[in-house]
């Protein structure tokens, strides 16, 4: 288990956090509708392209190939980047990543980091590391900035503050950046945030940071897809550009890029392409460019036979948008940078005990796997994780006991029939029988089925001669 | 053709009428049906919770009961999906593999094996919202999934079109999960109930009088949600409609 796990092995209670979100009726209704709307737009885009399923096959194949030759492609990428004057660093852990960023800045006397969106730096808890050391971090993506000001993780990889209503944002901005807390006009709020963050780009002693959507081995290029243009400002204004890159972001050739670019924004937002698709390859004259290639558990995951497929993920968020559970739970209930179905299979690789409830926060409906542009078999991995978690005794005690009892009962026709015969009434029958009522939870918000006069088995004995052969 | 009837445990206990309708329907269609009486459960409730060890006993009983048949037919997509794809807690002998390959969900069996399209004895003069379970859609592929842009098809709908008087209404999210999900319905109560309420309201909003499904577990959950909210929705299994139930 990685260092993220250390000292944090308290079990996350997804159900409880989701319940708290659902209790906020306006929020859950908006959240569900907003994300379903993205899913619908994604459908319209995907179904409008006859080659969509072919693209998914291609993307999956390219990612599988790259991941199974990852060391070679990393070598090629590094060689290419260095030949263009980029300095490449390698971080095995989150701490190493954060140390490298801090060192690069402190050695140059830089005190402000303007950054565009990066799930990786959230994953590494970079702000928590460098801010106490005197670095001011300015998130310039609107959603990320909202979450930074509210001191929360992103609740969605693409739309990080989607769990908030605009009134929440107005109140937050009123409290933090001095806007009118009663004015929740979205243009006013977006413009206010922009006016608040833009001066930081031209501050003295500032470094810029971007994430990376695709790292092209052939050319040593980092490709960043954004809608706000903030990545370009982060990369092009300061004298130092740091790009943080998860090692799974590699693709072999520039000609492979089109497969992914055609699907990324369509899957994410249902728009044909992001406003900006920026290629960074070499430092500008008089400035520096550094890549930090980050492992942070990825090599370990690559070695997991059942779970390495999750490394194909391109962070589009389509699985989250389509997930009926995520839409009603809110992303914060997943307890880490990654939420929704992809979080349910990635997070346990970091700390199985802490995130053991996540694979159970799913109905195994399979919609996530169907929308995934790289064909990650998400729901199958969720199913597999349940098996691994149960085998490691990380299922809550009451549930374990109920499962054992049910297992014994259903393993024996005699015991099973005897139990059915000896119990009358659904209230008694349900818990022993179908496991749906260990603590009468079923009945809190749902009526119980009426108990029939006889079981099918009893009816059959009375009504079919074959029964008594 | 040796056919065995598999009656999932919760149908045996709570919805015998669904088991009866399945049996009668198959008999009407001229199929000779055995009901192995030592059957209990396919093992899914345990296995879906990750409890492979606990599922093994039930799976062994299942494999033993259904070893001698050409077809094992059950009115539940999620149970059949378990048998076909996930019945792996026990040793995979030739006999076990044969049982798994012989498992058919009722709709599949009617549509693909018996190839039946007409149900002249059946009449259901109501506005029907068809609820296809996620197992029926995305696992057994009885229905095209909305995520995939292929030519739409629906085996349950095709069968129901052979019933007189039936009128279909379509909810805004026809293949959104209803939130049952087995033990999920208890361990994630809040989300499960919210999904169930949303599902029923979507059907009622489309004008449904009845919600018809091939999966009784989905209906048990939706009905539980609807009754608590005092919503005017009625629920019935597809086997009952095809067998001639009028209401």
Give the HSE-up count for residue A370: Cα atoms under 13 Å, Cβ half-sphere.
26
Q: Are A18 and B191 a contacting pair at CB < 8 A?
A: yes
Token output for A51: 């080659």
Identify whether A231 is part of a domain: yes
Radius of gyration from C-alpha coordinates of chain A? 25
Identify whether A279 is part of a domain: yes
Q: What is the largest CA-CA distance in chain A?
A: 93
Token output for A33: 């509708």
Spatial contact of B184 and A413, defined as CB atoms under 8 Å apart: no
Task: Single out the residue in A251, A276, A300 at which a domain terminates.
Answer: A300
Disruptive mutation site among B24, B54, B60, B82 for chain A (greatest number of A CBs within 10 Å): B54
Q: Is A186 helix (H, G, I), strand (E, B) or coil?
A: helix
Q: Is the domain of A98 the same as that of A235?
A: yes
Instruction: Spell out where A94-162 has E strands.
Output: 112-115, 136-139
Q: Are A433 and B147 a contacting pair at CB < 8 A?
A: no
Token output for A246: 């998860």
Q: Write out the DSSP string of chain B.
A: --EEE---HHHHHH-HHHHHHHHHHHHHTT--EE--TT----SHHHHTTT-HHHHHHHHHHHHHHTTT-SEEEES-HHHHHIIIII--SS---HHHHHHHHHEEEHHHIIIIIS-----TT-B--SEEEEE--HIIIIIS-SB--TTS-SPP-BHHHHHHTTSBT-EEE--SSTT---S-TTTHHHHTHHHHHHHHHHHHHHHHHTT-SEEEES-HHHHHHHHHHHHHTT---EEEEHHHHHTT---
Burial bucket for residue A23 (CB in 10 Å: 0-12, 13-18, 19+) = exposed
Count of residues making up chain B: 247
CB contacts of A403 in chain B (<8 Å) are 45-46, 49, 51, 54
Say which of B145, B191, B220 has its CB closest to residue A325: B191
What is the CATH architecture assignment of B127-242? 3-Layer(aba) Sandwich (3.40)
Residue A81: other Cβ atoms inside 10 A: 28
Nearest alpha carbon to residue A166 among A179, A157, A322, A228? A179
Q: Is the domain of A291 the same as that of A407?
A: no
Nearest alpha carbon to residue A272 among A54, A15, A49? A49
Chain CA centroid to CA A296, Å: 16
CB contacts of A13 in chain B (<8 Å) are none
- Burial code (b: 16+ CB inside 10 Å, e: under 16) for A99-132 equals bbbbebbeeeebebbbbbbbbbbbbbbbbebbee
Identify whether A353 is part of a domain: no
Task: Single out the residue in A300, A334, A355 at which a domain terminates.
Answer: A300
Range of the domain at A184: 3-300
Q: Which residue of B has its CA nearest to A327?
A: B191
A451 touches B: beta carbon within 8 Å: yes
Q: Is A39 helix (H, G, I), strand (E, B) or coil?
A: helix
- How far off is chain A from B161, nearest CA to CA, in Å? 26
Say which of A324, A367, A435 has its CB closest to residue B183: A435
- How far off is chain A from B30, nearest CA to CA, in Å? 16
- How far off is chain A from B210, nearest CA to CA, in Å? 17
Disruptive mutation site among A449, A452, A462 for chain B (greatest number of B CBs within 10 Å): A449
List CB contacts of A181: < 8 A, sequence separation 6 or more: A170, A171, A173, A174, A175
Spatial contact of A131 and A151, defined as CB atoms under 8 Å apart: no
Number of domains in chain A: 2
Angle between the N-to-C axes of helices A25-47 and A257-268, in degrees from 0 to 180, rounded to the nearest 10? 140
- Burial code (b: 16+ CB inside 10 Å, e: under 16) for A297-333 equals bbeebbeeeebbbbbbbbbbbbbbbbbbbbbbbbbbb
What CA–CA distances, in Å, run from A424 to A108, A405, A428?
A: 77, 19, 7
Angle between the N-to-C axes of helices B189-205 and B216-228, in degrees from 0 to 180, rounded to the nearest 10? 90
Q: Report the distance separating Cα A74 and Cα B221, nearest Å.
A: 50
Identify whether A135 is part of a domain: yes
- How far off is chain B from A169, nearest CA to CA, in Å? 25
Q: What are phi and psi of A88, to 5 degrees?
A: -110, 130
Residue A256: other Cβ atoms inside 10 A: 21
A462 touches B: beta carbon within 8 Å: no
Spatial contact of A370 and A364, defined as CB atoms under 8 Å apart: no
Q: Is the domain of A405 the same as that of A292?
A: no
Identify whether A89 is part of a domain: yes
Residue A381: other Cβ atoms inside 10 A: 25
Token output for A31: 């959240």
Q: Report the distance separating Cα A416 and Cα A419, nearest Å.
A: 5
Spatial contact of A345 and A385, defined as CB atoms under 8 Å apart: yes
Q: Report the distance separating Cα A32 and Cα A300, nearest Å.
A: 35
Q: Is the domain of A296 the same as that of A408?
A: no
CB contacts of A376 in chain B (<8 Å) are none
B177 touches A: beta carbon within 8 Å: yes
Give me the residues of B, 104-163, that contact A with CB < 8 A: 134, 137-139, 145-149
Q: Are B181 and A444 a contacting pair at CB < 8 A?
A: no
Chain CA centroid to CA B235, Å: 13
Look-up of token digits 């880490």: A336
Spatial contact of A174 and A80, defined as CB atoms under 8 Å apart: no
Going residue by residue through chain A, which has 469 residues, state the pLDDT in tens, using 9 for 90 and above: 344 444 457 899 999 999 999 999 999 999 999 999 999 999 999 999 999 999 999 999 999 999 999 999 999 999 999 999 999 999 999 999 999 999 999 999 999 999 999 999 999 999 999 999 999 999 999 999 999 999 999 999 999 999 999 999 999 999 999 999 999 999 999 999 999 998 998 999 999 999 999 999 999 999 999 998 889 999 999 999 999 999 999 999 999 999 999 999 999 999 999 999 999 999 999 999 999 999 999 999 999 999 999 999 999 999 999 999 999 999 999 999 999 999 999 999 999 999 999 999 999 999 999 999 999 999 999 999 999 999 998 888 878 888 888 899 899 999 888 877 665 554 445 544 445 555 568 778 888 787 788 999 999 999 998 876 6
Residue B168: other Cβ atoms inside 10 A: 15
- For the stretch B20-73, pLDDT in tens is 999 999 999 999 999 999 999 999 999 999 999 999 999 999 999 999 999 999
Q: Which residue of A has its CA nearest to B32?
A: A466
Q: What are phi and psi of A87, to 5 degrees?
A: -95, 125
Domain borders along chain B are: 3-113, 127-242
Based on DSSP, count helices (H) and strands (E) in chain A, helices before strands: 23, 10
Give me the residues of A, 287-326, that contact B with CB < 8 A: 322, 324-325
Burial bucket for residue A195 (CB in 10 Å: 0-12, 13-18, 19+) = exposed
B49 touches A: beta carbon within 8 Å: yes
List CB contacts of B76: < 8 A, sequence separation 6 or more: B8, B11, B105, B214, B215, B216, B217
Spatial contact of B57 and A407, defined as CB atoms under 8 Å apart: yes
Identify whether A344 is part of a domain: no
Nearest alpha carbon to residue A362 among A35, A33, A37, A14? A14
Q: Are A360 and B48 a contacting pair at CB < 8 A?
A: no
Give the HSE-up count for residue A396: Cα atoms under 13 Å, Cβ half-sphere.
16
Chain CA centroid to CA A456, Å: 45
Inter-chain CB pairs, A–B, below 8 Å? 237
Question: What residues of chain B score a pLDDT lower than 50?
Answer: none
Count of residues making up chain A: 469
pLDDT in the model for residue A6: 46
Identify whether A249 is part of a domain: yes
Look-up of token digits 């995130």: A355
What CA–CA distances, in Å, run from B75 to A239, B16, B109, B155?
A: 67, 12, 10, 14
| Order of strands, sheet of B210-213, starting from the edge strand that comes earlier in the sequence | B167-169, B127-131, B210-213, B234-237
Say which of A36, A364, A406 has its CB closest to residue B181: A364
CB contacts of B14 in chain A (<8 Å) are 426, 429, 449, 451-452
Give me the residues of B, 8-47, that contact A with CB < 8 A: 9-17, 19-20, 23, 34-35, 37-41, 43, 45-46
Q: Is the domain of A292 the same as that of A415?
A: no
Q: Report the distance separating Cα A137 and Cα A140, nearest Å.
A: 9
Burial bucket for residue A2 (CB in 10 Å: 0-12, 13-18, 19+) = middle
- How far off is chain A from B99, nearest CA to CA, in Å? 17
Give me the residues of A, 91-150, that contact B with CB < 8 A: none
Spatial contact of B38 and B103, defined as CB atoms under 8 Å apart: no
CB contacts of B15 in chain A (<8 Å) are 449, 452
pLDDT in the model for residue A4: 47
Identify whether A222 is part of a domain: yes
pTM: 0.95
């Amino acid at each position: 288990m990685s260092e993220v796990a250390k000292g944090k092995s308290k079990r996350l209670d997804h159900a409880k956090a989701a319940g708290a979100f659902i209790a906020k009726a306006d929020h859950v209704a908006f959240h569900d509708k907003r994300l379903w709307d993205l899913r619908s737009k994604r459908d319209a885009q995907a179904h409008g392209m006859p080659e969509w399923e072919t693209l998914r096959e291609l993307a999956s194949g390219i990612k599988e190939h790259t991941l199974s030759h990852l060391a070679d492609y990393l070598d090629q990428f590094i060689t290419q980047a260095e030949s263009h004057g980029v300095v490449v660093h390698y971080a095995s852990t989150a701490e190493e990543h954060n140390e490298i960023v801090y060192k690069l800045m402190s050695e140059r006397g830089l005190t402000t980091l303007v950054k565009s969106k990066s799930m990786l730096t959230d994953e590494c808890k970079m702000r928590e590391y460098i801010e106490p050391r005197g670095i001011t971090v300015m998130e310039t993506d609107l959603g990320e900035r909202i979450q930074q000001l509210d001191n929360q993780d992103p609740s969605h990889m693409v739309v990080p503050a989607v769990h908030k209503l605009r009134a929440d944002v107005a109140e937050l901005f009123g409290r933090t950046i001095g806007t009118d807390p009663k004015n929740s006009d979205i243009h006013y709020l977006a413009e206010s945030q922009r006016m608040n963050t833009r001066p930081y780009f031209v501050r003295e002693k500032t470094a810029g940071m971007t994430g990376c959507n695709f790292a092209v081995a052939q050319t040593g290029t980092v490709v960043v897809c954004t809608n706000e243009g903030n990545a370009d400002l982060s990369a092009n204004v300061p004298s130092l550009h740091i790009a943080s890159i998860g090692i799974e972001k590699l693709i072999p050739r520039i000609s492979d890029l089109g497969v992914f670019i055609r699907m990324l924004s369509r899957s994410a937002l249902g728009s044909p392409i992001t406003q900006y698709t920026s290629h960074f390859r070499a430092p500008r004259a008089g400035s520096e460019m550094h890549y930090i290639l980050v492992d942070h558990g990825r090599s370990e995951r690559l070695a997991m036979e059942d779970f390495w497929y999750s490394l194909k993920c391109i962070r589009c968020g389509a699985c989250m948008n389509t997930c009926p559970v995520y839409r009603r739970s809110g992303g914060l209930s997943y307890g880490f940078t990654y939420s929704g179905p992809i979080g349910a299979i990635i997070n346990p690789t970091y700390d199985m005990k802490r995130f053991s409830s996540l694979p159970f926060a799913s109905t195994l409906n399979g919609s996530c796997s169907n929308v995934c542009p790289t064909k990650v078999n998400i729901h199958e991995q969720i199913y597999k994780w349940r098996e691994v978690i149960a085998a490691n005794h990380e299922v809550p005690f009451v549930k374990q006991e109920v499962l054992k009892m049910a297992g014994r009962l259903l393993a024996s026709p005699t015991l099973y029939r005897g139990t059915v015969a000896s119990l009358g009434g659904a209230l008694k029958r349900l818990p022993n029988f179908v496991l749906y009522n260990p603590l009468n939870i079923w009945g809190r918000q749902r009526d119980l089925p009426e108990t029939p006069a006889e079981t099918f088995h009893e009816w059959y004995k009375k009504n079919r001669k074959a029964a008594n052969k | 053709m040796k056919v065995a009837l598999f009656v999932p445990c919760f149908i045996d206990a709570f919805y015998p009428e669904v088991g009866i309708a399945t049996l009668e329907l198959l008999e009407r269609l001229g199929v000779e049906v055995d009901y192995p009486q030592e059957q209990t459960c396919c093992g899914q409730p345990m296995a879906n919770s990750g409890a492979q060890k606990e599922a093994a006993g039930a799976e062994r009983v299942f494999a033993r009961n259904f070893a001698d048949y050409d077809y094992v037919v059950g009115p539940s997509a999620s149970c059949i999906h378990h048998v076909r794809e996930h019945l792996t807690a026990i040793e995979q002998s030739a006999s076990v593999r044969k049982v798994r390959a012989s498992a058919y969900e009722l709709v599949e069996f009617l549509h693909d094996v018996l190839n039946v399209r007409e149900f002249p004895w059946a009449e259901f003069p109501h506005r029907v919202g068809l609820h296809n379970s996620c197992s029926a859609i995305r696992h057994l592929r009885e229905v095209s999934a909305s995520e995939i842009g292929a030519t739409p098809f629906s085996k349950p709908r095709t069968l129901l079109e052979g019933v007189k008087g039936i009128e279909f209404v379509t909810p805004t999210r026809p293949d959104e999960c209803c939130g049952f999900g087995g033990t999920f319905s208890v361990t994630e109560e809040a989300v499960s109930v919210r999904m169930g309420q949303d599902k029923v309201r979507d059907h009622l909003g489309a004008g449904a009088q009845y919600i018809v499904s091939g999966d009784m577990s989905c209906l048990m959950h939706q009905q539980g949600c609807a009754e608590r909210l005092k919503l005017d929705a009625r629920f019935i299994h597809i086997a009952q409609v095809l067998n001639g139930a009028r209401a």
